[in-house]
Amino acid sequence: MSARTIDLELIRKFNVPGPRYTSYPPATHFTEEVDKAVLLEKIAHNNATAERDLSLYFHLPFCNSLCWFCGCTTVITTEQSKSEKYLDYLERELDAMGQHLHPDRSVVQMHLGGGTPTFLLADEIRRLGAMVHDRFVIAPDMEASVEIDPRRLTRDKLVALREVGFNRASIGVQDNNPTVQKAVHRIQPLELTREVVGWIRDTGFDSLNIDLIYGLPHQTVESFEQTIDEILELRPDRLAVFSYAHVPWIKPAQKILKEEHLPTPELKLQLLKLTVEKLTANGFVDIGMDHFARADDELAIAQREKTLQRNFQGYSTRGGTDIYSFGMSSISQADDIYWQNQKELPAYYADIDAGRLPIAKGYALTAEDLLRRETIMRLMCDLELDYAAMSKSLNIDFETHFAAELASLDDLEDGGLLQRHPGRLEVTELGQLFIRIVAMRFDAYLIAGKEGRYSKAI
Ligand code: SF4
């Protein structure tokens, strides 16, 4: 582990839009045309044995107010009673999918995302925990994480989360500066964040992640440096520092953010430089794709040992699992299929009322997709490709199969993003910042020019 310095000129050159590859192909390829009977057959096949472990995801969409930068799938409401009804439907969805799951599969990972999972009342958190514990075999070392909004959080909700097995907390901060907070409609004084971190520690969570965003209105290098300094004092184990993606054509609320208040592309690069240099100088390892972890954190160790995985929740240390997700808009992944639930609450409820699984879209990977998915995931997690190892795991001659892709890397090698050695390809520290640019060279749909609009890497 070493402190990094960033060359802004090179960053400018490679800052082009691209997918984040939490799946391959990306979710933009999922289609309503997918044959649900085929999906169900494949789910049945996936549950023929209890060999593979389960990772469960629950999407809790409610938030009390909208943060104007938000890119998540949310339902904004102050009506607390909505969460009870939602849990009723989640329970029915769990029962409906439960009929297809092998009863002995072990749950090794669980994640509550949103929206704001802590919109749920403490007793509702207990109810959700009981719903899972009553239906699944839970591994004793299950890693259970929850996204927490410190605003309106009460200590008893953390106590309830711990009671039902949650051991990893992730809190949203984004930026501590009051002017920035006002501009994005998210007022969260540092004092409040400090108090919540204290509760997370004294209720016994094992790990703390903090989310920040750079590229928000009114941010300056000085103001963001102060935010990072204040956050480092809270001693998180992991940090996710995302680049704000301004996509008002997808998220209309982002139109409220005035363009003239957003950092210029130049300033955004400086904010990234500051982030990487400051965090790596303070003991964090740059995992890639905006994630940083302390050198002794499982994520950093898994990357060193080449056992890191990438999925819809970002990076994960638990390989060999299938992700079964519940709640509106949630995405599942098993073997060679992806499927996504209805994205709107009324459609999600209507499907469950009609006795159907609330699946809106899906995708069945081709044999070629599977080869490319593994290649892109290994590249993003290991930051290298060992051709002999890839040939063995994919049962192909890797260098022959991907000859055109490997030959297309000259400009990335000249730019310092990667190095090709006999038998292997290695991503450099600079390339790590633009790992999606390297991955894009192995994306058959991009090569064929069939892709839509993505946000830039930075
Ligand atoms: S609390 Fe989180 S999910 Fe909800 S609007 Fe704000 S950023 Fe989005």
pLDDT score recorded for residue 1: 47
pLDDT score recorded for residue 15: 76
| Residue 114 in contact with ligand 1 by CB distance below 6 A | yes
Residue 14 has pLDDT above 90, yes or no: no
Read off the pLDDT of residues 341-374 as tens digits, 9 standing for 90 and up.
999 999 999 999 999 999 999 999 999 999 999 9
Nearest CA to ligand 1 atom 3: 115
Ligand 1, residue 114: give the atom nearest the CA. 3
| Residue 172 in contact with ligand 1 by CB distance below 6 A | yes
Pocket test for ligand 1, best of 64, 69, 116 (most atoms within 8 A of CB): 116
Nearest CA to ligand 1 atom 2: 115
CB 123 within 8 A of CB 84: no
Residue 388 has pLDDT above 90, yes or no: yes
For residues 155-162, give the mean pLDDT: 98
Q: Band of the pLDDT at 60, cuts 50, 70, 90?
A: very high
Greater confidence (13 vs 3) lies with 13
Question: How remote is the CA of residue 72 from the centroid of ligand 1, in Å?
Answer: 7
| Residue 115 in contact with ligand 1 by CB distance below 6 A | yes
**Cβ neighbourhood burial of 297 (10 Å; 0-12, 13-18, 19+):** buried
Question: How remote is the CA of residue 148 from the centroid of ligand 1, in Å?
Answer: 10
Class (C level, CATH) for 1-25+366-458? mainly alpha
| Residue 70 in contact with ligand 1 by CB distance below 6 A | yes
Pocket test for ligand 1, best of 149, 180, 250 (most atoms within 8 A of CB): 149
Question: How remote is the CA of residue 75 from the centroid of ligand 1, in Å?
Answer: 10
pLDDT score recorded for residue 337: 97
pTM (predicted TM-score): 0.94
Q: Band of the pLDDT at 295, cuts 50, 70, 90?
A: very high
pLDDT score recorded for residue 454: 66
Pocket test for ligand 1, best of 59, 70, 171 (most atoms within 8 A of CB): 70
The token pair at 220 is 């300056």
Detail the DSSP E strand segments found in 312-453: 314-316, 321-326, 331-334, 337-341, 359-364, 384-386, 418-421, 424-427
Rounded-to-integer distance, Cα 284 and Cα 41, Å: 44
Please say whether the structural domain 26-326 has been given the CATH code 3.80.30.20.
yes
The token pair at 24 is 């391959």
Question: How remote is the CA of residue 116 from the centroid of ligand 1, in Å?
Answer: 7
Q: Residues of CATH 1.10.10.920 domain(s) within the chain?
A: 1-25+366-458
Question: How remote is the CA of residue 114 from the centroid of ligand 1, in Å?
Answer: 8
Greater confidence (34 vs 454) lies with 34
The mean-pLDDT minimum among 10-14, 334-338, 397-401, 419-423 falls in 10-14
User: What mean pLDDT, rounded, does the chain reach?
Assistant: 93
Residue 311 has pLDDT above 90, yes or no: no
| Residue 66 in contact with ligand 1 by CB distance below 6 A | yes
pLDDT score recorded for residue 453: 59
Greater confidence (427 vs 458) lies with 427
Q: Sort strands 284-288 and 309-311 into parallel, antiparallel or unpaired.
A: unpaired
The mean-pLDDT minimum among 10-19, 73-82, 310-319 falls in 10-19
Greater confidence (245 vs 456) lies with 245
Q: Band of the pLDDT at 314, cuts 50, 70, 90?
A: confident
Residue 195 has pLDDT above 60, yes or no: yes
pLDDT score recorded for residue 265: 85
The token pair at 359 is 């699946």
Residue that the structure tokens 């590249």 belong to: 379
Q: Residues of CATH 3.80.30.20 domain(s) within the chain?
A: 26-326
**Cβ neighbourhood burial of 64 (10 Å; 0-12, 13-18, 19+):** middle
Nearest CA to ligand 1 atom 7: 70
Q: What percent of the chain is modeled with pLDDT above 90?
A: 83
Cα angle, residue 194 at apex, residues 188 and 200 outer, rounded to 5°: 110
The token pair at 151 is 């605003």
